[in-house]
Structure 1
Amino acid sequence: MFSNEDRNLLELISQDSRQTPEQLAIQTGLSIGYIENRIQQWVEDRIIIYRPLVNWERTGDQYVSALIEVRVIPQRGFGFDRIAKRLQKFPEIKAVYLMSGGFDLTLMIEGKTMQEVALFVAEKLAPLEHIQSTATHFVLRRYKQDGVELMGEEEALARLVVSP
């Protein structure tokens, strides 16, 4: 299991993965060598997975995200796992979650346009065996993702201004 020191180190890395082992050593009191070894092992074990968070709205490029609710017929002996493994192979699908409630899976999909996402759902997702139904919800604006605020304070305040 993980020691308190390891949990603290993981928490610091999750808050800012760009910190150097030297910076982490100062904050934790752990040796640089220990930190380097733990990070290397955690990366190999896929405990730490590095992926940059890009705020696409600031690039000016078209970029669309959608949350897709999916109802599935579970497969005998495999439940939802087999269909989830199949879905995660599509490059358009960025996340697959098993859910409780009125639907079974939630998918996060990215595309260049709303039409591109809609065509993916209609032509590739909905026709799959074991898919009962889908409901698509387009993301209109991302304010915060993975604990990171994407809209600066100045932008938020400017949007609050209402003239009489």
Structure 2
Amino acid sequence: MESKILNLLSENARMSASEIALRAGLDAAAVEAAITDLEKRGVIRGYTAILNESELEDNKVKAIIEVKVTPSREGGFDQVARRIARYPEVIDLSLVSGGFDLLLTIEGNSLQEVASFVSAKLSTIEGVLSTSTSFMLKKYKESGRIMQSDEEYERLKVCP
């Protein structure tokens, strides 16, 4: 039951308990109780909207930063990651496999603000060995949603 509820909420976080119950073939009161329990247990951490940022007036600058870290003896990667996660500029932070250890998404008001975060805050943290920053230029898809309408993707017709 929980997985059905979570899948439907992931699809549309504004879906009501009665709509979830109808679509999943469950009792509405049971769905409401399950959602409350999932929130209390911390499985559901919050609800968010998927924004088409190109339509907003106050576009923020977003960057993806790859970080190489020396894990500490006491806390491994977690200690460094918890310290980085405290910065309000950090939107997402994940431990990953591959050529680097942590993957961050950060947000700032300008390129200079993002650069300042990297040079003055991130790179000075003990255990951070190196960073590689890429600026987000355009989003095509987020959380399974295509950001532009299909008409914008239509190919031009070629006439012989």
With normalisation by structure 1, the TM-score equals 0.89
1:113 to 103, 110, 122: 110
1:23 to 13, 19, 23: 19
Alpha-carbon distance change, 118 to 36 in structure 1, aligned in 2, over 3 angstroms: same
Amino acid of the residue matched to residue 32 of structure 1?
Answer: A
Secondary structure of 1:142's counterpart equals: coil
Instruction: After TM superposition, give the deviation of residue 161 of structure 1 in Å.
Output: 4.4
- The alignment status of 1:13 with 2:9, answered yes or no, reads yes
User: Equivalent residue for 1:96?
Assistant: 93
Question: How far apart in 2 are the matches of 1:135 and 1:50?
Answer: 30
Secondary structure of 1:74's counterpart equals: coil
Percent identity (aligned):
37
Question: How far apart in 1 are the matches of 2:125 and 2:157?
Answer: 47
Gaps of 5+ in 2: none
Secondary structure of 1:100's counterpart equals: coil
Amino acid of the residue matched to residue 110 of structure 2?
Answer: T
User: CA-to-partner distance for each residue in 1:33-90, whole Å, 9 max, x for gaps?
Assistant: 1010111111122212212222221113232111101111110031100010111100
Question: How far apart in 1 are the matches of 2:148 and 2:40?
Answer: 34
CA contact (8 A) 2:91 2:107 kept: yes
Question: How far apart in 2 are the matches of 1:8 and 1:84?
Answer: 32
User: Equivalent residue for 2:123?
Assistant: 126
Instruction: After TM superposition, give the deviation of residue 140 of structure 1 in Å.
Output: 0.9
- The 5-angstrom pairing of residues 1-164 of structure 1 reads 5-48=1-44, 49-157=46-154, 160-161=155-156
